[in-house]
Structure 1
Amino acid sequence: MTSLSLRRAVATLATGALALTAIPAANAASAAPQQTPPGPRTAAAISAALTKDAAVPGTAWMTRPDGKVVVSYDSTVIGTKYNSLTKVTKQFGDQVVMEKLPGKLTKYVNGGGGIYSGDWTCSAGFNVQRGGKYFLLTAGHCGKDAATWYSDEAHRNLVGSVYRPSFPGNDYAVIAYRAGLKPGGSVSLYNGRSQDIVRAANPGLGQTVYRSGITSGLHGGKVTGLNATVIYDEGAVGNLIRTNVCAEPGDSGGPLFYRTYAYGLTSGGTGDCSSGGVTYFQPVIEAMNAYGVTIY
Structure 2
Amino acid sequence: MRTTRAKIGVLGAASAGLLALSLATTPVASAAAGPDRVMSSLGAATGGYYFDEAGKPVVNVLNDAGLATAQSSGVTAKVVRHSLGELTGVKQHLDSLGSVPNAGWGLDIARNQVVVDVYDATPAAERDRLVRTAQQYGDLIRVDKHAGAMSLFIKGGEEITNGKGYCSNGFNVEKDGKKLLLSAGHCEVLGGGGPWNGGKTVGFKFPDEDNLLAENASGEGPSEVGDGTKITSFADAVVGEAIKRDGRTSGVTSGKVTKVDYTFEAEGYTVYHEFCTTAKSAGGDSGGPAYDGGKGLGTLSGGDSSTSCFFPASISVKRYGVSLPRS
Residue 92 of structure 1: which of 137, 145, 164 is its match?
137
Q: Distance in 2 between matches of 1:120 and 1:74?
A: 28
Whether the aligned pair in 1 keeps the contact of 2:157 and 2:288 (CA below 8 Å) is: no
Q: Distance in 2 between matches of 1:268 and 1:184?
A: 26
Give, in angstroms, the shift of residue 118 of structure 1.
Answer: 4.4
Higher relative contact order (CA 8 A, sep 6+): 2
Number of the residue aligned with 1:176? 215
Give, in angstroms, the shift of residue 215 of structure 1.
Answer: 0.4
Q: Distance in 1 between matches of 2:271 and 2:100?
A: 12
RMSD: 2.2
With normalisation by structure 1, the TM-score equals 0.75
Q: 1:142 to 1:172 in 2, by over 3 A?
A: same
Number of the residue aligned with 1:185? 223
Give, in angstroms, the shift of residue 142 of structure 1.
Answer: 1.0
Whether the aligned pair in 2 keeps the contact of 1:112 and 1:250 (CA below 8 Å) is: no
Whether the aligned pair in 1 keeps the contact of 2:173 and 2:180 (CA below 8 Å) is: yes
Q: 1:235 to 1:76 in 2, by over 3 A?
A: same
SS in 2 for 1:123: strand
Which 4+ runs in 1 deviate beyond 4 A? none
Q: 1:188 to 1:113 in 2, by over 3 A?
A: closer
Number of the residue aligned with 1:24? none
Number of the residue aligned with 2:323? 294
Number of the residue aligned with 1:49? 93
Q: Distance in 1 between matches of 2:226 and 2:115?
A: 33
Whether the aligned pair in 2 keeps the contact of 1:102 and 1:270 (CA below 8 Å) is: no
Task: Give deviations 1:244-264, integer Å, cap 9, x for gaps.
Answer: 000001100001012222111
Q: Distance in 1 between matches of 2:252 and 2:132?
A: 40
Number of the residue aligned with 1:63? 107
Structure 1 letter corresponding to 2:193: A
Give, in angstroms, the shift of residue 161 of structure 1.
Answer: 1.6
Question: How do residues 94-243 of structure 1 correspond to structure 2 at under 5 angstroms?
Answer: 94-110=139-155, 114-145=159-190, 146-151=192-197, 158=198, 160-178=199-217, 181-189=219-227, 194-243=228-277
Structure 2 letter corresponding to 1:144: V
Task: Give deviations 1:111-163, integer Å, cap 9, x for gaps.
Answer: 89821124321111100011101110001111223331444xxxxxx2x1222
Q: Distance in 1 between matches of 2:196 and 2:322?
A: 22
SS in 1 for 2:283: coil
Gaps of 5+ in 2: 1-82
Question: How do residues 236-275 of structure 1 correspond to structure 2 at under 5 angstroms?
Answer: 236-271=270-305
Gaps of 5+ in 1: 1-39, 152-157, 272-276
Number of the residue aligned with 2:308? 279
Task: Give deviations 1:64-108, integer Å, cap 9, x for gaps.
Answer: 225421100122014223223223223223321110134221110
Q: 1:119 to 1:74 in 2, by over 3 A?
A: farther
Q: Distance in 1 between matches of 2:235 and 2:158?
A: 28
Q: Distance in 2 between matches of 1:43 and 1:112?
A: 34
Out of 138-147 and 218-227, give the one that drifted further.
138-147
Number of the residue aligned with 1:28? none
Instruction: Give percent identity, aligned residues only.
Output: 28
